[in-house]
């Protein structure tokens, strides 16, 4: 930066301002009473709030005094109080979580700007703002607001309007802007469209017609009626090149956001002609519940407006998307054929499956997905066909989408623990009553691979860590003898409301879960049960260590005050009753796999009694291998690390099922 | 929409202040930061370095060329907001996250403070500049 230049000066001012803001915020946290010094403080009540290019523009009413000092009846909008437009940066707005009806105190230094043609003053530099809550109303309001308003409205700014810095008087200014030829779509008044969405234009029912007639500019005035077949999330890394006129992509790579995992809510919709389209909506935060969106939106009709075409993709380029589309083909009701007149309903069901699909996105941030909560489920909707795991294992094809309801017994991460959430891969071992009740021929437990592209909600991740769960796997992929969860697969905790459950048994498992016993057909990366006799101990691998009985922390330290005691720095407390954990590798002879040496890594806590003898011996540091040999072990649940045939050997690790 | 009017007024106040005092007061600089966010400091830097050139042809056609920090020359239109830099295509057109890119903001600030370099070219040369931009993109 140039010395003594404007840029350097602004940097200095900005740094000073930033420290002042963080200091002020810190102060606000520590004393939560309204400060008594009111000089220069603006008190405003937000009437409505929109976002324009990351700045939140709030139309507010200026209040004379804080409504906390008035009774609720007095806090009625007084028509004579002055109206202001207050601007907040995205960061301040996120801090405040502004909503209409909120009262905000804006502390100096703020700036007021009077615009030439408007009589509403604009307030800027509102970094030092604080929301004042009216305690009786705030909670209830936060809750209802959260449910109804899921989308932020944005205003599009026209590029045709340049800034005039000359000091012309108002009349001339207006005339010259009238003479300008509009070369970009007119800006759209958000509030009007919000009140009268259908007044925009007649509703069309063909996606293809709309895309082809309007081009890549966007169809802000036209609405298309479609049915929402599926709701799911896609990782935002799966970005698409955007279209501009002339097919020149402006952006070469998708954005890798530094925010928490960037996930976009998407819909797979189908129009009356049977044509599909994938609509990418807004980014979801980790707290948003995909399950709620699915329940509210799937199967309903909606009107799409304000959409823009991102891409036209084909079967060859988007196999995953088309495997989902294929699972929804043929349509359950006859569809219209383009070219036929609307009156004569010539419909056919012998159409070939689609070979292309448009990917759409919301152009301006306005989302006109008008879904009526009480509306009927459309006839065109095809709910997921739920099958039992036994049936799925017998499916003949490859890349078939399948849905099932299963109990998750065990979860294992395939990637390392420190890999970010959006790149983790895991294996879930699942079963249901159809697999458990079979004598032989099919496995009792199936491994479901969850790829990084399958978005899991926080709810599911927490539930799976907490214990064994019944999970509904919607639109998983079956192929090459394996079930995998990829993009567009959704894992849900609740039973689907509508599904065609032809052969499925959605009941809970009765009785304890049984695993297949270790034998010659056991493969690596599976789980099994085993029993056998100890024939050897790998002494070099034996060790034990104390862990905190509260949090499980394995790295306890010696207490400085008393060297006999142990200290856990995660709990910040002395550990009086540590849990002793132990690891040991034993060699077993298993009757079910008599040709092989079976090596099992055994983990044990002192409090379980399964392997008591060995446990006690190790703890007392007096064990002798001789006294352990020949002891019977079983039934242990294990994860199979590897099975090799030359030499014949199986390496397993004892596990605890969820 | 409010934001363009606010931006315009802010730039106008900067021009007036500069005309009266040959300086830009601190609060207007902070206002630039508030409205334009991350563009503000880079744009001011471009002004400090006199990177903006107003290119004019005999027929009265005008465009602006801004020498970016990488040494690359970007073209900004005068009749509408457009810049050939990738940030414009991304932040302004695609994501609607910004009103302007730093080059367009530098153009306005240079205009407000009389810091534009002037260049007179022939009609043909101006046309070539515009056409050359198109070829580069492809």
Domain positions in chain A are: 6-20+39-65+81-132, 202-236+263-333+353-382, 389-492, 526-654
Query: What per-residue confidence (pLDDT) applies to A586?
Result: 79
Query: What per-residue confidence (pLDDT) applies to B136?
Result: 52
Q: How confident is residue A273, by pLDDT bands cut at 50, 70 and 90?
A: confident
Q: Which CATH class is domain A526-654?
A: mainly beta
Q: Report d(CA A47, CA A45) in Å as an integer.
A: 6
- Among the partner residues B1, B31, B37, nearest to A52 by beta-carbon distance: B1
Per-residue pLDDT of B14-53, as tens digits, reads 999 998 888 899 999 999 999 999 999 999 999 999 999 9
CB contact under 8 A, A160 and B137: no
Q: How confident is residue A252, by pLDDT bands cut at 50, 70 and 90?
A: very low
CA distances from residue A429 to A432, A515, A526, A527 in whole angstroms, order as listed: 11, 11, 8, 8
Kindly tell me if the per-residue pLDDT of A581 is higher than 50.
yes
Residue of B nearest to A88 (CA): B34
Query: What per-residue confidence (pLDDT) applies to A584?
Result: 75
B17 touches chain A (CB under 8 A): no
CB contact under 8 A, B45 and A5: yes
Per-residue pLDDT of A190-244, as tens digits, reads 333 333 333 344 677 888 877 776 655 555 567 788 899 999 988 875 444 333 3
Residues in chain A with CB shorter than 8 Å from the CB of B112 are 165
Query: What per-residue confidence (pLDDT) applies to A38?
Result: 61
Mean pLDDT of chain A: 73
Kindly tell me if the per-residue pLDDT of A169 is higher than 50.
no
A540 touches chain B (CB under 8 A): no
CB contact under 8 A, B13 and A242: no
Q: Tell which wins on pLDDT, A536 or A236.
A: A536
Query: What per-residue confidence (pLDDT) applies to B41?
Result: 93
Reduce the DSSP state of residue A476 to 3 states and report it.
Answer: strand
Kindly tell me if the per-residue pLDDT of B119 is higher than 70.
yes
CB contact under 8 A, A7 and B137: no
B52 touches chain A (CB under 8 A): no
Distance from CA of A228 to the nearest CA of B (A): 26
User: Strand pairing of A426-431 and A111-113?
Assistant: unpaired
Q: What tokens were used for A109?
A: 């230094």
Q: Tell which wins on pLDDT, B100 or A348.
A: B100
Per-residue pLDDT of A288-298, as tens digits, reads 678 888 887 88
Q: What is the DSSP string of A492-540?
A: ESSPPSS-B-SS---SPPPS----PBP-TT--TT-EEEEEEEEEEEEEE
Query: What per-residue confidence (pLDDT) applies to A217?
Result: 55
Residues in chain A with CB shorter than 8 Å from the CB of B35 are 55, 87, 124
Share of chain A above pLDDT 90, in %: 9
CB B36 within 8 A of CB B99: yes
Q: Report d(CA A23, CA A425) in Å as an integer.
A: 42
Element (H, E) at B27: helix B26-36
Query: What per-residue confidence (pLDDT) applies to A322?
Result: 92
The closest of A379, A432, A434 to A407, measured between CA atoms, is A432
Predicted TM-score (pTM) of this structure = 0.53
CB contact under 8 A, B35 and A124: yes
Element (H, E) at A631: none
Query: What per-residue confidence (pLDDT) applies to A499?
Result: 61
Q: Tell which wins on pLDDT, A71 or A485.
A: A485
Residues in chain A with CB shorter than 8 Å from the CB of B10 are 113
CB A582 within 8 A of CB A607: no
Residue of B nearest to A168 (CA): B12
The verdict on whether omega for the bond into residue A256 sits within 30 degrees of 0, i.e. cis, is no
Phi, psi for A270 (deg, rounded to 5): -135, 135
Kindly tell me if the per-residue pLDDT of A558 is higher than 60.
yes
Distance from CA of B128 to the nearest CA of A (A): 20
Q: Tell which wins on pLDDT, A599 or A194.
A: A599
Reduce the DSSP state of residue B4 to 3 states and report it.
Answer: helix
User: What size, in residues, is chain A?
Assistant: 658
Reduce the DSSP state of residue A320 to 3 states and report it.
Answer: helix
CA distances from residue A450 to A52, A116, A293, A299, A477 in whole angstroms, order as listed: 39, 58, 22, 26, 10
Query: What per-residue confidence (pLDDT) applies to A624?
Result: 57
Please state the three-class secondary structure of A2-36 as a single string: CCCCHHHHHHHHHHHHHHHHHHHHHHHHHCCCCCC
Query: Structurally, what CATH architecture does the domain formed by A389-492 represent?
Result: Beta Barrel (2.40)
Residues in chain A with CB shorter than 8 Å from the CB of B138 are 248
Given the cut 0.90, state whether the ipTM is greater than it: yes
Instruction: Choose, out of A157, A255, A311, A365, the residue to mutate when testing the contact with B (most B CBs < 10 Å).
Output: A157
Average pLDDT over residues A623-636: 69
Residues in chain B with CB shorter than 8 Å from the CB of A183 are 80
CB contact under 8 A, A87 and B6: yes
Percent composition of chain B: helix, strand, coil (DSSP 3-state, to 5): 55, 15, 30
Kindly calculate the radius of gyration of chain A based on its CA atoms and give it in whole angstroms: 32
For A4, residues 6+ apart whose C-beta sits below 8 A from its C-beta are: none
Kindly tell me if the per-residue pLDDT of A269 is higher than 70.
yes
* Range scoring the smallest mean pLDDT among A193-202, A498-507, B94-103: A193-202
Distance from CA of B123 to the nearest CA of A (A): 23
Q: Report d(CA A287, CA B17) in Å as an integer.
A: 48
Residue of B nearest to A188 (CA): B1
| A 145-204 near B (Cβ less than 8 A) | 154-165, 167, 183-184, 187
A612 touches chain B (CB under 8 A): no
A202-236+263-333+353-382 CATH fold: OB fold (Dihydrolipoamide Acetyltransferase, E2P) (2.40.50)
DSSP assignment, residue A52? E
Question: Do the domains A6-20+39-65+81-132 and A389-492 sit in the same CATH topology, yes or no?
Answer: yes
B56 touches chain A (CB under 8 A): no
Phi, psi for A130 (deg, rounded to 5): -140, 140
B82 HSE (CA, 13 A, CB side):
12
Q: How far apart are the first and last CA of chain A?
A: 59
Q: Which CATH number fits domain A6-20+39-65+81-132: 2.40.50.120, 3.90.400.10, 3.30.460.80, 1.10.1200.10?
A: 2.40.50.120
> b vs e for A24-37, b when ≥16 Cβ sit within 10 Å of the residue's Cβ?
eeeebeeeeeeeee
Cα three-residue angle A356-A362-A367, rounded to 5 degrees: 125
């Amino acid at each position: 930066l140039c010395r003594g230049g404007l840029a350097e000066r602004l940097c200095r001012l900005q740094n000073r301002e930033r420290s002042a803001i963080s200091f002020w915020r810190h102060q606000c946290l520590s004393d939560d009473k309204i400060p008594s010094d009111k000089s220069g403080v603006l008190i405003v009540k937000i009437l409505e709030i929109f976002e324009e290019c990351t700045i939140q523009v709030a139309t507010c009413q200026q209040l004379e005094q804080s409504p906390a000092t008035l009774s609720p009846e007095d806090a009625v909008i007084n028509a004579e109080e002055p109206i202001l437009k207050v601007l907040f940066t995205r960061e301040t707005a996120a801090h405040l979580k502004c909503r209409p009806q909120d009262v905000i105190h804006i502390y100096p230094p703020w700036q007021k700007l009077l615009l030439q043609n408007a009589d509403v003053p604009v307030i800027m530099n509102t970094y030092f703002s604080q929301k004042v809550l009216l305690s009786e109303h705030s909670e209830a309001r936060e809750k209802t607001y959260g449910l109804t308003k899921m989308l932020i409205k944005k205003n599009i700014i026209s590029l045709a309007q340049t800034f005039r810095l000359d000091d012309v008087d108002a009349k001339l200014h207006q005339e010259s802007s009238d003479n300008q030829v509009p070369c970009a779509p007119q800006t759209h008044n958000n509030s009007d469209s919000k009140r009268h969405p259908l007044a925009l234009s007649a509703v069309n029912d063909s996606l293809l017609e709309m895309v082809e007639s309007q081009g890549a500019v966007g169809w802000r005035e036209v609405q298309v009626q479609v049915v929402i077949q599926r709701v799911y999330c896609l990782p935002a890394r799966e970005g698409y090149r955007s279209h501009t006129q002339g097919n020149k992509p402006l952006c070469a790579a998708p954005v890798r956001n530094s925010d928490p995992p960037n996930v976009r809510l998407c819909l797979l919709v189908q129009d009356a002609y049977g044509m599909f389209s994938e609509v990418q909506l807004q980014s979801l935060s980790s707290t948003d519940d995909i399950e709620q969106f699915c329940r509210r939106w799937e199967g309903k009709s909606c009107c799409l407006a304000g959409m823009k075409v991102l891409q036209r993709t084909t079967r060859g380029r988007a196999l995953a998307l088309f495997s989902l589309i294929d699972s929804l083909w043929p349509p359950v009701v006859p569809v219209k054929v383009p070219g036929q007149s609307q009156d004569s309903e010539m419909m056919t069901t012998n159409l070939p499956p689609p070979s292309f699909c448009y990917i759409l996105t919301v152009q301006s941030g306005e989302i006109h997905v008008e879904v009526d909560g009480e509306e009927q489920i459309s006839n065109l909707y095809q709910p997921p066909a739920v099958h039992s795991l036994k049936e799925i294992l017998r499916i003949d094809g490859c890349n078939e989408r399948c849905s099932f309801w299963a109990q998750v017994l065990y979860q294992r991460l395939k990637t390392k623990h420190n890999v970010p959430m959006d790149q983790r891969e895991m294996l879930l071992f699942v079963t249901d009553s159809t697999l458990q009740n079979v004598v032989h021929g099919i496995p009792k437990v199936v491994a479901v691979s969850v790829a990084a592209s399958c978005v899991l909600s926080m709810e599911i991740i927490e539930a799976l860590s907490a214990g064994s769960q019944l999970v509904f796997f919607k639109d998983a992929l079956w192929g090459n003898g394996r079930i995998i969860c990829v993009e567009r697969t959704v894992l849900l905790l609740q039973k689907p409301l509508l599904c065609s459950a032809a052969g499925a048994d959605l009941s809970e498992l009765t009785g304890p879960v049984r695993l297949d016993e270790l034998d010659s057909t056991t493969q690596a990366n599976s789980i099994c049960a085993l029993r056998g006799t100890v024939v050897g101990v790998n002494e070099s691998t034996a060790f034990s260590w104390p862990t905190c009985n509260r949090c499980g922390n394995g790295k306890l330290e010696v207490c400085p005050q008393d060297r006999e005691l142990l200290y856990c720095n995660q709990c910040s407390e002395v550990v009086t009753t540590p849990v002793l954990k132990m690891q040991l590798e034993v060699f077993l002879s298993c009757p079910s796999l008599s040709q092989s040496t079976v090596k099992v890594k055994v983990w044990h806590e002192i409090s379980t009694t399964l392997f008591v003898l060995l446990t006690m011996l190790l703890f007392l540091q007096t064990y002798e291998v001789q006294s352990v040999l020949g002891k019977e072990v079983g039934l242990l649940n294990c994860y199979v690390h590897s099975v090799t045939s030359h030499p014949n050997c199986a390496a397993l690790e004892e596990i605890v099922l969820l | 929409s409010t934001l363009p009017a606010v931006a315009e007024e802010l730039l106008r106040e900067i021009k007036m202040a500069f005309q009266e005092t040959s300086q830009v007061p601190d609060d207007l600089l902070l206002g630039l930061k508030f409205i334009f966010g991350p563009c503000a400091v880079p744009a001011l830097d471009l002004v400090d370095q006199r990177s903006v050139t107003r290119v004019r042809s005999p027929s009265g056609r005008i465009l602006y060329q801004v020498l970016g920090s990488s040494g690359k020359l970007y073209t900004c239109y005068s009749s509408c907001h457009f810049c050939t830099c990738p940030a414009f295509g991304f932040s302004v057109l695609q994501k609607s996250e910004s009103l302007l890119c730093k080059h367009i903001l530098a153009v306005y600030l240079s205009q407000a403070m009389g810091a534009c370099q002037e260049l007179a070219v022939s009609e043909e040369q101006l046309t070539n500049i515009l056409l050359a931009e198109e070829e580069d993109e492809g």
